[in-house]
């Protein structure tokens, strides 16, 4: 179990761990469900894209991310499957 601390620049984490206001670059999509994977790709979550955590739902889930100039809501469960590198 990793120690709980705020993700630092350069850390490799999954997207669900990113804090509000932080930005990260997508490294790898682990999503196994093929329909969901396809949809995520179509929505622009491809390797290298920069994603910022913008708003968090009042109940803690889902999370609203900003990417490619628009906002996309995703559940934590799906964000967990996306590996990222923190860039800010």
The residues of the shown chain that bind another protein, judged by CB under 8 A, are 29, 33, 35-44, 46-49, 54-62, 64, 68-75, 77-78
Residue with smaller CB distance to another protein, 9 or 28 = 28
Contact status, residue 26 vs residue 83, Cβ threshold 8 Å? yes
Residue with smaller CB distance to another protein, 2 or 64 = 64
Question: 53 by DSSP, 3-state: which?
Answer: strand
Contact status, residue 86 vs residue 22, Cβ threshold 8 Å? yes
Query: What are the phi and psi torsion angles at 15 (to 5°)?
Result: -65, -25
To another protein, the closest distance from the beta carbon of 17 in angstroms equals 18
To another protein, the closest distance from the beta carbon of 3 in angstroms equals 26
């Amino acid at each position: 179990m990793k120690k709980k601390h705020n993700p630092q620049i350069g850390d490799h984490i999954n997207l669900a761990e990113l804090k509000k206001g932080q930005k990260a670059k997508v490294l790898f999509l682990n999503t196994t469900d093929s329909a969901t994977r396809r949809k995520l790709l179509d929505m622009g979550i491809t390797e290298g894209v920069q994603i910022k955590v913008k708003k968090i739902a009042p109940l803690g889930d889902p999370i609203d991310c900003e990417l490619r100039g628009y906002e996309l809501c995703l559940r934590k469960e799906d964000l967990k499957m996306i590996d990222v590198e923190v860039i800010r």
